[in-house]
């Protein structure tokens, strides 16, 4: 609780400004993302609410520098590979909360996690772009995901070049 309060009072811009300055970045500088910025973004993922607090997700951090061919298999656009990092939010449906009628919270939980990370990145001046239009078979292969872990959404992460 204390941690949440500290974070609440230390953002670099007002939340209303943050909402208006976030946009889908489709051109990135190659400059590395400092470790402390990545940590803040991952903290935002950990603080995201999930149904019954099941946290049915994993975040995979991909360093794009030596994985250009692998990245191209997942998404054909150059700008997807320009950023030094890409993040993939994966869902774990077996771990998610399931309502009496069978509805599984996994994708909703994972979307909230991604949105938290995207807003945290915008707060730090980092660019992002939701990517749902990727090849799930290639992504599963390249990331070597087991059966029960599904790749749901990607985002490049780096300093904008547009
Ligand atoms: C669930 C979801 C999936 C998306 N998938 C893609 C995508 O595969 N490729 C892409 O370039 N943009 C993608 N976007 C970005 C949207 O096109 C973008 O958010 C929208 O056009 C609004 O623009 P803005 O983000 O700059 O405000 C996606 C956005 C969402 C929320």
Backbone angles phi, psi at 20, to 5 degrees: -85, -20
Using only C-alpha atoms, the chain has a radius of gyration, in whole angstroms, of 16
Q: How confident is the model at residue 65 (pLDDT cuts 50, 70, 90)?
A: confident
Q: How confident is the model at residue 1 (pLDDT cuts 50, 70, 90)?
A: very low
Residues 6+ apart with CB under 8 A from 44: 116, 117, 119, 120
**Closest C-alpha residue for ligand 1 atom 11:** 131
Q: What is the pTM of this model?
A: 0.90
CA of 131 to the centre of ligand 1 (A): 7
CA of 128 to the centre of ligand 1 (A): 10
CA of 3 to the centre of ligand 1 (A): 31
Q: Identify the pLDDT of residue 79.
A: 83
The residue with tokens 């990092």 is 85
Mode of pairing for the β-strands spanning 57-63 and 85-91: antiparallel
**Closest C-alpha residue for ligand 1 atom 14:** 130
Residues with CB under 6 A from ligand 1: 23-24, 129-133
Give 72-108 pLDDT, tens digit per residue.
Answer: 776 767 888 889 999 999 999 999 999 999 999 999 9
110 with 51: CB under 8 angstroms? no
CA of 154 to the centre of ligand 1 (A): 11
Return the number of other C-beta atoms located less than 10 Å from residue 74's C-beta. Answer: 25
Query: Three-state SS for 62?
Result: strand
Q: Identify the pLDDT of residue 78.
A: 80
Q: Identify the pLDDT of residue 5.
A: 45
Mean pLDDT computed over every residue of the chain: 90
Pick from 151, 149, 123: nearest CA to 137? 151
Backbone angles phi, psi at 130, to 5 degrees: -55, 130
């Amino acid at each position: 609780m204390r941690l949440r309060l500290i974070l609440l009072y230390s953002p670099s811009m007002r939340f209303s400004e943050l909402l208006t300055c976030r946009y889908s970045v489709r051109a990135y500088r190659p400059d590395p993302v400092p470790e402390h910025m990545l940590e803040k973004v991952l903290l935002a993922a950990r603080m995201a609410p999930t149904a019954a607090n099941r946290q049915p997700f994993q975040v995979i951090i991909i360093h794009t520098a030596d994985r250009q061919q692998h990245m191209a298999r997942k998404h054909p656009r150059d700008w997807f590979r320009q950023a030094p990092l890409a993040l993939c939010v994966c869902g774990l449906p077996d771990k998610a909360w399931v309502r009496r009628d069978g509805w599984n919270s996994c994708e909703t939980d994972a979307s909230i996690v991604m949105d938290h990370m995207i807003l945290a990145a915008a707060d730090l001046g980092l660019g992002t772009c939701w990517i749902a239009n990727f090849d799930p078979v290639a992504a599963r292969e390249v990331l070597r995901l087991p059966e029960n872990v599904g790749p749901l959404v990607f985002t490049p992460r780096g300093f904008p070049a547009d």
